[in-house]
Amino acid sequence: MGALDEGHYNVVLENGVKLGGLEQEPETIAIVDAVKLLLQGLGEDINREGLRKTPLRVAKAFQIVQDALFPEVGVEHGKGQAGGAGGLVLVRDLNLFSFCESCLLPFQVKCHVGYIPSGQRVVGLSKLSRVADIFAKRLQDPQRLADEICFALEHGIEPTGVAVVLECSHVHFPNFEHVFLDSNHERWVKVVVGSGSGSFEKDDSASWLDFFGLLRCKDVSLDNIHARTTVQDSWCPSQSHSRLGLGPNSTMTSAVASIIQSLGQDPCRIELTATPNRYVNWLMNFKDSNLEMKLNGFSSIPLKTTVGRINYKEHVRSENNLSLWSLCEHHLLPFYGVVHIGYILGEEVNSISKTLLQSIVHFHGFKLQVQERLSRQIAETVSPLLGGDVMVVVEADHTCMIARGIEKCGSNTATIAVLGRFSDDPAARSQFLQTIPSYCL
Amino acid sequence: MGALDEGHYNVVLENGVKLGGLEQEPETIAIVDAVKLLLQGLGEDINREGLRKTPLRVAKAFQIVQDALFPEVGVEHGKGQAGGAGGLVLVRDLNLFSFCESCLLPFQVKCHVGYIPSGQRVVGLSKLSRVADIFAKRLQDPQRLADEICFALEHGIEPTGVAVVLECSHVHFPNFEHVFLDSNHERWVKVVVGSGSGSFEKDDSASWLDFFGLLRCKDVSLDNIHARTTVQDSWCPSQSHSRLGLGPNSTMTSAVASIIQSLGQDPCRIELTATPNRYVNWLMNFKDSNLEMKLNGFSSIPLKTTVGRINYKEHVRSENNLSLWSLCEHHLLPFYGVVHIGYILGEEVNSISKTLLQSIVHFHGFKLQVQERLSRQIAETVSPLLGGDVMVVVEADHTCMIARGIEKCGSNTATIAVLGRFSDDPAARSQFLQTIPSYCL
């Protein structure tokens, strides 16, 4: 009957992530010991911080899967693959998010996970998603995430083969200094990674052919999957930033290192050593600076006090799709999107350059913000330049909406600020809103 | 730093739905008492089953919002609306699901919720989603859901106005008897509802103009919002089914009534009185019947025992996009999608009618199923008709993936079953897979 009652989240808790006393149960201990042996076989130190909790995590993932293995016969007569013996099962388009171990920002993942049943058993479909979620919700690198999901399912289901393909998107936040210069800044860094075991072990296997045949994504194929040999070059855009050498505030970097440690990770792990520096450098973009905005050559126009509707001789002009980058002060998580500015082109008001408006947006974006305040501040700054009748619309994706509790992928927020005669003139507002193109980042 | 630790779901638990001992706190009791007064003012009996928990639920929603009200100034000089005083804030495209009070099946909701701040306060954006979720996760009707979200936000935020628009999609499950006849069965019943308070009270208000200006959905406007006067005609497709009068098994209907009672709802509430009948009628579609499939006029072709690749003279033929309706035996929740059948058109094999293949799919769909078994059963049934070399692909949306715990909207599952020479011939499988159009329900 589904999640009708509010005890719903308890179910998630029991089946999904928190397993409570299960850590002491003999089955759990047996799996933990086995995973330790596997890790030692890989030449790893099982006591290092980064690995300490891995066996328990893997044990949890196994148990989620094992609790949901159902008997299912295979082909009954003749030759074939289907049911609980052969026949690919593929769950497509699972939305996950994870956190980049290189810069601590969240990244989005579209996860496709498949397996080929064997031993007359199939696994409950939602369990594939639960297992993927467990490994996503930690500091990760895309390839490791794919490998860990694959490893856990391989050992939990014991199928003929397991395959995982992840389409990962990492927001490419510009530095404060560069954002004013680089008008064509790419918003996303994307990478596709894959991991396969059993019949998916070889890249040219028939199983992969079936997998991509079912995926039918034009832009995802074996050919464009990030080659494993180059994974050492992190995909994280923060790695290419030149400021890294400057050596940021050491109190702040120590604080970030201690957060990483509190998350059960070893700050000395090679992939994590520069993470505090990178995160602090990124954060310092939002330091409340005393920069004065120089509105070169543009003098303020005396604010009019006119009220009422906009004169029919005047024209509503708009400057749309200015890029926005900012940091949500409630969660210290990024939000980003576009800003649209509407104003009245009249006798006293000339249009002003898009570059200047874009600079004003960046100026207000690069501090700790909430979208409502940002909209107001942009409106108040552009108002004296544009004759006092202005309307600002901000449309943004908030990382906190996917990476905190509610996990509402695909939602976004629009805010409006109006000054002067736009306040009294719904028709003028509507006229401006109609000029705004569809929102799509 | 977001949901890096696995304590993540605890946060959901505390902030979101379960509030533990809060029920005894004086603030909660005060809100509960106030809501009771409001309900009495509406002429309602606050002790009837359906309303008994409403005051506490509303109190929880209020507290979620009130914990996240942040001071935010409005326009500082001159005339305008922005920040914490005026200026619409709209969160768009929140994916929710709820349960139809008329038939107990889940329905999907795309929720747009907006408010106009006042009193120099704004609310944390994710809280709008949390409040919507609280009211969605019960037996609902779209208009009541919109009204309840609106009411809770109005009293929690005390803004200038609140507006809620819900785009609801209810799966239109056919009856077993009709599905064989009705080849153009519509898969969805859709309705758009709205609710507004304060400055959104009047349908023709300037605030609604702004709201729809920001929504910019071509197919959602004030004009096509379900008129309130006709909401008495339930949107639920089960209400139009003629079988209702037959009077299903009374032990089963009593059982459903007791489930409804366990969910804190009064089975005697007018909207719920016929729900057990409708649900049982729907469920009886999936009774494991002794129906024999009559493959009129089609004689089986002796199964070939050939192995190896498919002869170059033979052609891979496919019959794609056969409708599928079924019931997941793990959750008793629907799954639905399309089936594609590939086979080899050779000397002995003629193509067979799409109608017959569609009937075979329905025959196997209308029972308690798992997708893997369904794929195998369809393959084994069509195999003797199609010369023994067949491939079946099933693509389906599983309601359990959105309505149970993991809530992965947009994901779907593909399964493969292969018999005969398709087993050995990846190229033939690939050739068939390429004929399948993009999956989109």
Res B17 pLDDT > 70 = no
Q: With an 8 Å Cβ cutoff, is B431 touching chain A?
A: no
Q: Which of A83-97, B34-48, B75-89, B426-440 has the lowest mean pLDDT?
A: B34-48
Which residues in chain A are closer than 8 Å to B80, comparing Cβ atoms?
Answer: 379, 417-420, 422-423
Supply the angle between the helices A26-41 and A54-66 in degrees, to the nearest 10: 120
Nearest CA of chain B to the CA of A430: how many Å?
6
Nearest CA of chain B to the CA of A113: how many Å?
10
pLDDT digits (tens, 9 = 90+) for B126-185: 889 989 988 998 889 999 999 999 999 998 899 999 999 999 999 998 888 888 888 788
Question: For residue A433, which of B243, B73, B217, B297 has the smallest C-alpha distance?
Answer: B217
pLDDT of residue B104: 87
- Which one of A86, A124, A133 has the shortest CB-CB distance to B330? A124
DSSP state of A4: -
- Is the pTM here over 0.95, yes or no? no
For chain A, the domains span 10-229, 315-433
Interface with B, mutate which of A4, A73, A252 (most B CBs under 10 A)? A4
**Is it true that B8-230+257-283 and B315-434 share their CATH fold?**
yes
Distance CA B180, CA B363 (A): 9
Question: For residue B73, which of A130, A84, A380 has the smallest C-alpha distance?
Answer: A380
Q: With an 8 Å Cβ cutoff, is A94 touching chain B?
A: yes
Nearest CA of chain B to the CA of A155: how many Å?
20
pLDDT digits (tens, 9 = 90+) for B297-308: 555 555 555 666
Q: What's the CATH fold of domain A10-229?
A: GTP Cyclohydrolase I, domain 2 (3.30.1130)
What H or E segment, with its residue span, contains residue A208? helix A206-215
Nearest CA of chain A to the CA of B90: how many Å?
5
Tell me how far apart the 2 most distant CA atoms of chain B are, in Å: 88
| Closest residue of chain A to B260, computed from CA coordinates | A4
Q: With an 8 Å Cβ cutoff, is B405 touching chain A?
A: yes
| Closest residue of chain B to A204, computed from CA coordinates | B426
pLDDT of residue B417: 96
Model ipTM value? 0.82
Distance CA B253, CA B274 (A): 9
Q: Are A84 and B372 inside 8 Å of each other by CB?
A: yes
In chain B, pLDDT over 70 holds for what percent of residues?
80
The DSSP result for B284-351, as a single string, is HTTS---PPP--TTPPPPPPP---SSPPTTSEEEEEEEEEEEEEETTTTEEEEEEEEEEEEE-SS---
pLDDT digits (tens, 9 = 90+) for B98-110: 989 999 888 999 9
Q: What's the CATH fold of domain B8-230+257-283?
A: GTP Cyclohydrolase I, domain 2 (3.30.1130)
- Domain formed by A315-433, architecture: 2-Layer Sandwich (3.30)
Q: Are A2 and B331 inside 8 Å of each other by CB?
A: yes
Domain B315-434 has CATH 2.60.40.10: no
pLDDT digits (tens, 9 = 90+) for B56-83: 877 777 677 667 788 888 888 888 899 8
Which residues in chain B are closer than 8 Å to A413, comparing Cβ atoms?
Answer: 89-92, 125
Q: With an 8 Å Cβ cutoff, is A258 touching chain B?
A: no
Per-residue pLDDT of chain A (441 residues; tens, 9 = 90+): 333 332 332 333 333 334 345 677 777 787 777 777 766 765 667 786 666 777 787 777 767 777 778 888 888 888 889 988 989 999 999 998 898 999 988 899 999 999 999 999 999 888 899 899 889 988 899 999 999 999 999 988 999 999 999 999 999 988 888 888 887 888 899 999 999 999 999 888 899 999 999 998 766 777 777 655 444 578 998 887 654 445 667 788 888 888 788 777 788 888 899 998 888 888 888 876 655 565 555 555 555 556 667 776 678 899 999 999 998 887 788 899 999 999 988 776 667 888 999 999 999 998 888 999 999 999 999 999 998 999 999 999 998 777 665 567 788 999 999 999 999 999 999 999 999 998 887
